[in-house]
Structure 1
Amino acid sequence: MPRFLSIGECMIELASLGGDTMRKGFAGDTFNTAWYAQAFRPDGWTVDYFTALGDDSASSEMLAFMQASGIGTEDIRRLPGKAPGLYMIHLDNGERSFSYWRSVSAARQLADDRAALETAIDAVDIVYFSGITLAILPPEGRATLIALARAARQSGKTVAFDPNLRPRLWAGKDEMLAAISEASAGASIVLPGFDDEAAHFGDGSITDTIARYRRLGAGDVVLKDGAEGTTLAIGDRQVHIPAHPAAAVIDTTSAGDSFNGGYLMRLAAGDTPEDAARFASRLASSVIGHPGALIAREILGL
């Protein structure tokens, strides 16, 4: 049975319901992608998540939520004395900002057991991780994940990577750019966002971003540019896919994460990259019309 594995950190999410009342949920960039991959997976595929959790009640609740969502958790390690990270949402006209508490998150140790991570990767067909996954890891764990991802691509697996550049999570800009570049060089598919690439790598155009990732050795480049659409660099072809218009913009959280999940699963189903990108654009445009990171398939209407 073919399998999709997403690697990263799922966190406790606190969102205001007004006043001092907060709603607790669970989310995180790579988990959000796993959620949408699970919702739109082809028949016969399974979706799994790899992380580390603590042995506290919040970790148990998170694990139960993943399982109830149909996401495989058999590779998740439980670490004594640890707990999940937590973040609080601040929402202003559909745009979110966040306050984080993640310095002692169990997920920071997800790559400490190299054998466990290697076994999980060996058992799947598509491996997905992000720049945020790399940012939370210590240098040794980061090197382990990048090396195993590179080996997975060399063995014929699809390795998908979203740079998801978040400078606040890194010790410095140079460290961030070097790690993102190294991980991208070993990826079959890179899924960057142009605004981030322009801001942090200094790219002057979409062509610059695609050329830089291609020089590094990345395979296909799927460059997301918000309302301007998506540019695909597939083999020697470059195609622009217009963005699907959003009926409303309520909450932009998970726009990129849902696009990634939808795109990768439509490729797994046999779609062309162009058709996969069109579907992923429709999915992302529907997701941002609803509050929250994780929107049920039946609500999305796709």
Structure 2
Amino acid sequence: MTDRLVCLGECMVELAETGPATYRRSFAGDTFNAAWYARRALPEGWDVAYATCIGTDAVSDEMAAFMAGEGIATDTLRRVPERGVGLYMIALKDGERSFAYWRGQSAARLLADDPDWLDAVLGGAAHVHVSGITLAILAPEARRRLIDALARARTAGVTVSLDTNIRPRLWENEESCRAALTACAEASDVLLPSFDEEAVLFGDATPEATLARYRQAGARVVVVKNGAAQILGWSDPAGEVRVDAVPDTAVVDTTAAGDSFAGAFPGRASHRRRPARRHHARGACGRRCGRGPRGAGAVTRRHHEPGPPPPGSSAMKVSSAASSPSRCGATRCSSRSW
């Protein structure tokens, strides 16, 4: 029997500047990046699907084709006429990126508007992964519908993971963000918070406080990421584990490091590793991801020489267009860390 991982959220068009008046177009988003990495981490017995809403336009078609070409199932996509997909542009400095977004008419904002579709998508999974961004892009009433659907799926035996991925600008206010994340945590088995974000929003003084709060919410597994500091994890019944982070001095782009970490979780059940080894592996995946540019859509598997752009990306320039395929060290984590 095939186990299915469903990642739920928003995939967007990414425009990344590669030179004067030149941009590479790709497809990315936090939960989609997680699905991309999970597909490479999991054995063939697992099916990885991405659930979102897209439009009926040509760009939406290209996005769906890119997903399918990367081995991600697309039967969980819902088409919404008169809507399209969101877009963002990137500026990169010293390995850190800043973003400008255009997502007001994104079909993904309606992903919880069809309860029957949502229940079918979640009910067909063994494991569902969502993020704080998945929640943030929804209207408050739709957010509640999604959390209720996750709770129903969990009651039916589906495991749920939540990467809190707190982005304050996407939320109406801090109170709404805290309330939604807490409610979703109560409907989740696995919590993947980042301490720096949790400290600002919830006032947690230590990673231990973050862990304790999510344990109290009912999580069975909590992994508190903390930048270059020690990773703090806990699971029932194994208990607490601490893993030293290994700094990487060759950071080019930190994007998708956390997403690759989140995408690694389903490998936990398949590989049956000891907790410390699992956290080491996921940390290695995040470090290697940071050694190459951008998220899922620009990562190639084999090309190392200049040539055509990778699937899912293209170069645009005022005059001529040329591009070299992107290389992300995270590709190596598929064969070396899992």
TM-score by length of 1: 0.96
User: Are residue 57 (structure 1) and residue 85 (structure 2) matched?
Assistant: no
Moved more, 145-154 or 126-135: 145-154
User: Are residue 229 (structure 1) and residue 230 (structure 2) matched?
Assistant: yes
Moved more, 3-12 or 240-249: 240-249
- Map of 1:87-98 to 2, 5 A cutoff? 87-98=88-99
Residue in 1 that maps onto 2:285: 283
Residue in 1 that maps onto 2:265: 263
Structure showing greater radius of gyration is: 2
- Map of 1:233-252 to 2, 5 A cutoff? 233-235=234-236, 237-246=239-248, 248-252=250-254
Q: CA deviation at 1:259?
A: 0.6
Residue in 2 that maps onto 1:112: 113
User: Are residue 171 (structure 1) and residue 172 (structure 2) matched?
Assistant: yes
Q: CA deviation at 1:42?
A: 1.9
Amino acid at match of 2:157: G
Determine which structure has the larger helix proportion and give its number: 1
The CA RMSD over aligned residues, in Å, is 1.3
Q: CA deviation at 1:296?
A: 4.1
- How many residues in Structure 1 have an aligned counterpart in Structure 2? 302
> What's the CA shift string for 1:128-150, capped at 9, x where partnerless?
00110000111222111111111
- Map of 1:7-86 to 2, 5 A cutoff? 7-86=8-87
> What's the CA shift string for 1:33-75, capped at 9, x where partnerless?
0000011112310100000000111101101100000000001
Residue in 2 that maps onto 1:191: 192
Identity of aligned residues (%): 44
Q: CA deviation at 1:271?
A: 2.3
TM-score by length of 2: 0.86
Structure 1 CA distance for aligned equivalents of residues 115 and 272 of structure 2: 32
Structure 2 CA distance for aligned equivalents of residues 216 and 55 of structure 1: 39
Q: CA deviation at 1:247?
A: 5.1
Amino acid at match of 1:10: C
CA contact (8 A) 1:42 1:266 kept: no
Residue in 2 that maps onto 1:4: 5
Amino acid at match of 1:159: V
Specify whether residues 43 and 274 from structure 1 end up closer, same or farther in structure 2 by C-alpha distance, changes over 3 A only.
farther
Greater RCO between the two (CA within 8 Å, min separation 6)?
2
Structure 1 CA distance for aligned equivalents of residues 270 and 153 of structure 2: 17
Amino acid at match of 2:156: S
Structure 1 CA distance for aligned equivalents of residues 295 and 76 of structure 2: 23
